[in-house]
């Protein structure tokens, strides 16, 4: 049975002191009895200090990126093994900002995805169309291509460790949000792709998150859709009250 997940991607925000303050606030406010898997993704320097704070809680930690090599002359990169050593359970791969700003290719994302799952960590794989694709009616083709050329190179067994995060790029940080009906339409399409590729069991057990300007005032309606299993939250994850409202929106 697939899980409800709300993950907070803090991106390049929060100093150590600010990260610890936000984490302390979340620890006090996230309900102890929530059935939602709660994940937060601080910046690399703040992962270990935050991990020390949440280790006995119902909040888990994700990294925002990882390299596919174990070690070597890769200045500025962080390996999966390094992340494991400080208690990371999930790695986010393929975020639209990594694709557009840092030029990450399908092949690179496939290598990273394989590395994450082979190491036994949960892979949160992001993908989605830009506004031009949506206006041109190419959004389904784009999403299909992004999946087929990267994460669909994993096996069905690998997919037990995969969470998919659909992010319509035109709705990230713009204040625009896909309607709940648009989100459901795409999530259903993605689940059908999973069924065609891996079979009914994988399709029904893979959580698919929506990542596009989810806020306290729209989370409940978006999460009510049958194929939406939660959200990858950006800006709203930087305020404890907003994030907890989204966590409790199911």
Positions marked catalytic: 95, 167
Residue whose C-alpha is closest to residue 166's, from 149, 200, 191: 191
Q: What is the DSSP letter of 44?
A: G
> What would the DSSP string read from start to end of 133-174?
HHHTT-HHHHHHHHHHTTGGGS-TTGGGGEEEEE--GGGSSS
- Cα distances (angstroms) measured from residue 134 to each of 31, 129, 215: 37, 7, 22
Q: What is the H or E stretch that residue 126 is in?
A: strand 122-127
3-class SS of residue 25: helix
Q: What is the H or E stretch that residue 209 is in?
A: strand 208-210
Q: Which residues contact 82 (CB under 8 A, 6 or more apart)?
A: none
Show the tokens assigned to 86.
Answer: 């400080």
Q: What burial class does residue 102 get, using C-beta atoms within 10 Å of its C-beta: 0-12 exposed, 13-18 middle, 19+ buried?
A: exposed
Residue whose C-alpha is closest to residue 81's, from 61, 93, 60, 67: 67
């Amino acid at each position: 049975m697939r899980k409800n997940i709300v993950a907070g991607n803090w991106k390049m925000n929060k100093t150590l002191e600010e990260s610890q303050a936000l984490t302390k606030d979340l620890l006090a406010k996230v309900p102890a009895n929530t059935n939602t898997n709660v994940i937060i993704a601080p910046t690399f320097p703040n992962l270990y200090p935050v991990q020390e704070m949440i280790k006995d809680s119902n909040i888990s930690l994700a990294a925002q990126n990882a390299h596919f090599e174990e070690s070597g002359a890769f200045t500025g990169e962080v390996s999966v093994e390094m992340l494991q050593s400080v208690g990371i359970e999930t790695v986010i791969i393929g975020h639209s900002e990594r694709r557009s700003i840092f030029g990450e290719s399908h092949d690179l994302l496939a290598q990273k995805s394989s590395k994450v799952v082979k190491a036994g960590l949960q892979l949160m794989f992001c993908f989605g169309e830009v506004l031009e694709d949506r206006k041109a009616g190419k959004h389904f083709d784009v999403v299909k291509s992004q999946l087929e050329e990267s994460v669909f190179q994993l096996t069905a067994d690998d997919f037990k460790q995969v969470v998919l995060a659909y992010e319509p790029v035109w709705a990230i940080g713009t204040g625009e949000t896909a309607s709940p009906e648009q989100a459901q339409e795409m999530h259903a399409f993605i689940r059908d792709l999973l069924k065609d590729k891996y079979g009914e069991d994988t399709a029904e057990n893979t959580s698919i998150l929506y990542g596009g300007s989810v806020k306290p005032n729209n989370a409940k309606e978006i999460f009510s859709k049958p194929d939406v299993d939660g959200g990858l939250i950006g800006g709203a994850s930087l305020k404890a009250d907003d994030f907890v409202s989204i966590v409790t929106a199911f």
